Amino acid sequence: MAIARLPSLVIDCPDPGALARFYGALLDWKVDVDSDLRWAEVRADYGDCICFQKVEDYQPPRWPSQELPQQMHLDVVVDDLDAAESAVVELGARKHEHQPGATFRVFLDPAGHPFCLCMS
């Protein structure tokens, strides 16, 4: 029997609302931002959740260096890498110059966290 259920990932960032809106649009999940703007989350209809918490003096990761490690990263499955790249760049992501594979692409979200678009 499981000890817990419905795990969520919590991501440190400078602006929880902005990052929640980015991932909410990317995944088409519901966005909820606390009134104090220190916490936000995106939630799927089926329960999965990603949370974002404000960190003062936030320093983004320096991927692929480990000088300031990744802190986290998401892999999301897409049907068309080119179309998905266009869409995430329009949302505010930046394509990283280091692209180590052919079946996925590395981007940085608006707070600098790496995430990958992966072919299904």
Query: Tell me: the pLDDT tens digits for 24-43?
Result: 999 999 999 999 999 999 99
The residue among 74, 64, 61, 66 whose CA lies nearest residue 100 is 64
Domain positions in the chain? 8-58+65-119
Confidence of residue 2 (pLDDT cuts 50, 70, 90): low
Query: Tell me: the pLDDT tens digits for 53-108?
Result: 999 999 998 888 888 877 777 889 899 999 999 999 999 999 999 999 899 999 99
Beta-strand runs (E) in 1-120: 8-13, 30-33, 39-43, 49-54, 74-78, 94-95, 104-108, 114-119
Query: Tell me: the pLDDT tens digits for 9-24?
Result: 889 999 999 999 999 9
Q: 8-58+65-119 is classed in which CATH architecture?
A: Roll (3.10)
Q: Looking at residue 35, what DSSP letter applies?
A: T
CA distance 113 to 68: 11
Q: Taking the complete model, does pTM exceed 0.95, yes or no? A: no
CA distance 100 to 95: 12
